[in-house]
Chain A
Amino acid sequence: MRERARKIRVSCVVNGTAASFEAYPMARLLDVLREELKLTGTKEGCGEGECGACSIEMDGALVNSCLVPALQAEGAKIRTIEGLAIGGSLHAVQQAFIAHGGAQCGICTPGMILAAVNLLARHPHPDDTQIREGLSGNLCRCTGYMKIFESVVAAVGKVEKRA
C-alpha cells in the first residue's frame, strides 16, 4: 500500500469557540466540519465548488468549504450555520427565510442563508442586482429563487450588529 500523508493538527475558531482537530492537510474543510466537529449543518451538493451548499464564512469571506484544504483553516475564524442563531433567537435572515418561504427542501438553505448574511454585511441595503449576484454562487433547485430574494429583502434593516 502506498504511504499516505500524515495528519496535522489544526487550530482555529469556529462559531466563536476555539477548536482543534487532526486532519490530513488536504482533507476538505467540509469533511472536517461535518465529521470531526459534528457540524452537519454544512451540506455537500456537488463537491466542486459549483452549488454553494457547503458555503461557510472564513475570516468574513464566503467560501465553499469543499474547496478549502483543512490546513488553510489554521488560525482562521470560521462561521457555519450553527453559529448564526444566538441561544434560541434566530438571526433576522433565518426568520425571514421561515416567514417568506425561502427554504423548501432545506439542503441549500444553510449555505444560502450564510451567503445572504454575507451579502447584507457588504451591502446593508442591496438592490435587486446585488441580491442576485450575491447569491449567484448558491444553487437552489426548489424555489426558483423568488422567495429567497423576498426573504433577503425582508431581512434588510433587521440584521443586528453582533460581535
Chain B
Amino acid sequence: MIGKSVPRKEGREKVTGRARYVDDLTFPGMLHGVTVRSPVARGRIRAIHFEGEIPWHEFTVVTAKDIPGKNCIALLIEDQPCLAAEFVNHPEEAVVLLAHHDKYLLEEARRAVRIEIEPLRGVFSIEDSLARKEIIWGQDNIFKSFYVEKGDVDGAWAEPGLVVEGTYETGAQEQLYIEPQGMIAQVSEAEGVTVWGSLQCPHYVHKALMILFGLPRERIRVVQAETGGGFGGKEEYPSMIAAHAALLARKSGRPVKIIYDRAEDMVATTKRHPSRTRHVTAVSHDGKLLAMDIDFTVDGGAYETLSPVVLSRGTIHAAGPYACPNVRIRSRAVATNVPPHGAFRGFGAPQSVFALERHLDRVAQAVGIAPDELRRRNFIREGQTLAVGQVVKEKVDMKGLLERAFELSGYHAKRKQFAAANSDSRAVIKKGIGFASFLHGAGFTGSGEEYLASEVAIEAKADGTVHILAGSTEMGQGTNTIFAQIAAEALRLDCEQIRIVQPDTAYVPNSGPTVASRTAMIVGKLVETAAAGLLQTLRDSGLLPDGYSAADFSRACREYITEHRALKSFVKYEHPRDLHWDDQKYSGDAYGAYAWAVYVAEVSVDMRTAEVRVNDFVAVQEVGKVINPVLAAGQIEGGVAQGIGFALYENVVWQEGRMVNAQMTNYVMPTSVDLPTIRVFFEEIPYGRGPAGAKGIGELPLDGTAPAIANAIAHATGVDVRQIPITAETLLEMLEAVHA
C-alpha cells in the first residue's frame, strides 16, 4: 500500500457533492448568527446602540456580559477576548453577536447596531511598534523574542573578506481556503456544549470552549465537518467562531449557525505574518560564509495568539541549510492594531527563507561567483551543525538535489542564454531563471512533540474493518488516505478495510493539531505502531494464521471480540531519547527530521507593463519515503501555486489596520491561466522514525517558491528585489528607479 497512488478515501463523496461541509448541515429550529465588529482599530467602548426599525425583541443579543466563564479565546495565553468588553484593539474585533431565524433580517439588524467608541491612537507597522509610539501590548509591544547564537559572530567581522548587508520584507497573505469559515453550536443542560465546524484542530476548539464556559472536559464536544481547505487559517480562528456560535446557542436555547461570507472572512480572520529581516553577512573572497547576523521581526497583530510559535519556526529556518560557523539570530514578534496574524502553511519559515535566499544571491554577486557556487561551497552535510546547534544525523545531499533541479530545468544553459538576450536594451520581454535551496523541519519544534504527547487508537470490529481514531483532520491534504495506507500496510489489508473515524472529541483521542507538517510523520507513525500492536494481539491470541488472508483477519477479529468484547490498540507518542532541546538556550535538536529541497523558477518580464509570468517551475525535494505519489505531488503543486501567489499576486492593502481589498476580485490568487506547469520530483531517503520512512512535506513548498521567483526576476531585469509581493505596480517603480 505504501508508495501507491491509492485513490482519496473520501473522493467519491467529494466528486458527487455528497460530502457534508458545515454550511450543508441544518438542525431543526436552527437560528443564524452574525458578528457585529469594531469599526475602528483601537479605542474605548462607550456604548452600544440598537437602532433602526428592527424588531429587536425577536433577536438573541450577546455581549461580553453573557460569557459564563473567562472572556478569552485560550491558546498559548489568554490575552485575546472572545468579545471586546471595554477596549477594542483592532478593526473588526467582535463586540456583539446577534441571532435570528431570518438571515436577511439578521443582516439588516447587524447594520443597525452602532458601537460608540472613543478612538485611541493605533500602531500599524513593525517600525512604529518597535519605536513604541504607543504601548499597545504588555510593557513594550513585544509578544516574544528569541536569541540564537552559534560560534562567535562578532569575532568573525575582522576576518579577510566582504560584508554584505540587506533588508527584506514580506507582506501579509490570506489563506483563501475556498470554503469560508463556519460553525454550528448547540447547548443544552443535558449534553453541554456541542459544535460542528470547519476546522483543523478539534482539541484547540475544545480547550477554548472549556475555559470560555467554565465547563469540564466531558461537557464540551467538538466535531469536525468536512473541511474545505485550511492552510493554517483554520488552526486557531475556528475557536473564536465556535465560541460565538455557542454563546448565541446558550442564550437562545436553539442551535445557531455562523457562516462567514468571503469579505468577513478576509477582514476578520488571520493572515500570514508580515515580516522584516535584516542580514549582515561576512563572506570570504572564495565564497565561504564566515558569519551570519540575522535580525528577524514579524508583525503579530493585536493579540499574541500563535505569534511566538510562528516566530520560533521562522527563526530556526532563518539560516537555511548552510554550515556557517558563526551565526546569530535575533528575532521578535511585535504588536500592532491589526487583526491577529496567524498560522499559514510554512508558519514563519517562508518569510525568513525568502530573505535568506534572496540575500545569498546578492552575497554571491558581491563575491563575484555564481549563486549556485556560493550555495555549493556552504551546503550543510551530514555531521555538521545547523544554526540552532543541531547536528545533522540524516543523510543529506543538497548538492545532488541542486544538480538534479538544474538538469531538469536546463538551468545553466538558460542562465547564459537569457543573460545574453537580456543585454539587448531594446528587449521588450526579458527572461530570467533563479532558484532557492532550503529545508523545512517536520513536526512541532524542539520539545513540542513531547509536550503534545499525541495519542492514537485503532479498533478492529467484528466484521474485520479496522477503525482509526485520531483528532487529526482531513482538509484536503490527504490524512484519511495516508492513514488508511499506513494501517493497511502494517496489517497487510486493503485500504477499503480501513475506516477513518470522523474527528469528534467525544470519541477520538487527542493526536495533536493538524499543523506543522506533522500528521503523516508523527501521527502516521503512531497509526503504524498502533496497527502493529493490534496485529500482535491477534497473533498472540493464536487466532491469526501465518500468511493470513483478509477473510482470516476478519474471522480472527470476530473470534477475539466474541471472547474479549473489544479489540483495540492505543499508543502514545514517546519522544526519541537522543533528541535533545534546551528551551532556555533555544538550541538543540529542533526537529526530528527535515525535508530538503531546491526549486527553480523561470520567468519572463514584460518591460512595458512590468507583468511577470512564471514560465516553468521545477521542484525537487527529498522527503523520505513517499506514501502516496499523487497526493504528495498534489501537496507540492498546490504549495508552489500558493507560493507563486505569495511572490507575485497576493497583496493585502491595509488602511488603519483594516484590509480594504477583502474580495476575491481585488485580492488576486493564481487562476488556471496564471500558472506554469509545476514539475515535481521526489528523492526518497527513508527516515527511520517516519511511518514506512516518510517525512513531513505539507509546508515545504511555501518556503522556496517565492525566493526562487524573486531571484529569477532579479536575473531577468537586474532589479534588486527586496520585498514581496512583486506586483506589476511595485516592479514598474523598481524598473523606473533602475533606469532613472
**CB within 8 Å of B: which residues of A?**
1-2, 4, 34, 39-48, 50-51, 53, 80-82, 84-85, 90, 94, 97-110, 113, 131-133, 135-136, 138-149
A46 CB to closest chain B CB, in angstroms?
4
Given known A-B contacts A103-B8, A147-B634, A136 and B673 have beta carbons under 8 A apart: yes
16 A–B pairs (Cβ distance < 8 Å), ordered by A: A34-B23, A50-B665, A80-B17, A84-B16, A90-B12, A106-B228, A106-B476, A109-B15, A133-B672, A140-B178, A141-B177, A141-B231, A141-B669, A144-B638, A144-B675, A147-B634
Contacts of A39 in B (CB 8 A): 17
**Which residues of B from 133 to 183 have beta carbons under 8 Å from A?**
175-180
Q: How far is the CA of A82 from the CA of B669 in the complex (A)?
A: 28
Which single residue of chain A is at the shortest CB-CB distance from B263?
Answer: A47
Contacts of B5 in A (CB 8 A): 101
A-B contact sample (18 more), CB < 8 A, given A98-B12, A141-B178: A34-B24, A39-B17, A41-B18, A46-B262, A81-B17, A84-B16, A94-B16, A98-B8, A100-B630, A102-B15, A106-B19, A131-B672, A141-B175, A141-B669, A144-B639, A144-B641, A145-B672, A149-B672
Q: How far is the CA of A84 from the CA of B12 in the complex (A)?
A: 13
Complex A-B, nearest 6 residue pairs according to Cβ-Cβ distance, in ascending order: A41-B17, A105-B476, A107-B228, A106-B14, A144-B641, A81-B17
Q: How far is the CA of A39 from the CA of B13 in the complex (A)?
A: 14
B179 touches A43 (CB 8 A): yes
B129 CB to closest chain A CB, in angstroms?
30
Q: How far is the CA of A48 from the CA of B667 in the complex (A)?
A: 13
B678 within 8 A of A: yes
Contacts of A110 in B (CB 8 A): 15, 17
Query: Size range of the interface on B?
Result: 35 or more
A101 touches B14 (CB 8 A): no
B634 touches A143 (CB 8 A): yes
Q: How far is the CA of A123 from the CA of B677 in the complex (A)?
A: 21
B260 CB to closest chain A CB, in angstroms?
11
Q: How far is the CA of A108 from the CA of B15 in the complex (A)?
A: 10
A40 CB to closest chain B CB, in angstroms?
4
A45 touches B14 (CB 8 A): no
Which single residue of chain A is at the shortest CB-CB distance from B679?
Answer: A146
Among A2, A51, A98, contact of B178 (Cβ-Cβ < 8 Å): A51
**Which residues of B from 466 to 495 have beta carbons under 8 Å from A?**
475-478
Q: How far is the CA of A144 from the CA of B677 in the complex (A)?
A: 9
Among A99, A107, A145, A146, contact of B7 (Cβ-Cβ < 8 Å): A99
Given known A-B contacts A48-B665, A140-B178, A109 and B14 have beta carbons under 8 A apart: yes
B663 CB to closest chain A CB, in angstroms?
6
A98 touches B15 (CB 8 A): yes
B586 within 8 A of A: no
**Which residues of B from 1 to 57 have beta carbons under 8 Å from A?**
5, 7-8, 10-21, 23-24, 53-55
B265 CB to closest chain A CB, in angstroms?
10
B348 within 8 A of A: no
B15 touches A97 (CB 8 A): yes
B357 CB to closest chain A CB, in angstroms?
21
B55 touches A1 (CB 8 A): yes
B183 CB to closest chain A CB, in angstroms?
16
Q: How far is the CA of A110 from the CA of B11 in the complex (A)?
A: 12
Q: How far is the CA of A99 from the CA of B637 in the complex (A)?
A: 17
Please, what's the 1-or-0 string for B218-247, where 1 marks a CB less than 8 Å from any CB in chain A? 000000001111110000000000000000
A47 touches B229 (CB 8 A): no
Q: How far is the CA of A50 from the CA of B230 in the complex (A)?
A: 19
Given known A-B contacts A105-B228, A109-B15, A147 and B630 have beta carbons under 8 A apart: yes
B90 CB to closest chain A CB, in angstroms?
24
Q: How far is the CA of A89 from the CA of B157 in the complex (A)?
A: 70
Contacts of B633 in A (CB 8 A): 101, 146-147
Given known A-B contacts A51-B178, A144-B678, A101 and B673 have beta carbons under 8 A apart: no
Q: How far is the CA of A48 from the CA of B265 in the complex (A)?
A: 14
Given known A-B contacts A105-B475, A107-B179, A90 and B16 have beta carbons under 8 A apart: yes
Q: How far is the CA of A84 from the CA of B663 in the complex (A)?
A: 31
B433 CB to closest chain A CB, in angstroms?
20
B640 within 8 A of A: yes
Which single residue of chain B is at the shortest CB-CB distance from A111?
Answer: B178
Q: How far is the CA of A145 from the CA of B674 in the complex (A)?
A: 10
Contacts of B261 in A (CB 8 A): 47
Among A82, A101, A142, contact of B630 (Cβ-Cβ < 8 Å): A101
Contacts of A84 in B (CB 8 A): 16
B7 touches A98 (CB 8 A): yes
Given known A-B contacts A103-B11, A104-B476, A138-B672, A50 and B53 have beta carbons under 8 A apart: no
B642 within 8 A of A: yes
Q: How far is the CA of A84 from the CA of B16 in the complex (A)?
A: 8
Contacts of A105 in B (CB 8 A): 177-179, 227-230, 475-476
**Which residues of B from 624 to 669 have beta carbons under 8 Å from A?**
630-631, 633-634, 637-642, 663-665, 669
Given known A-B contacts A105-B475, A105-B476, A141-B231, A45 and B15 have beta carbons under 8 A apart: no
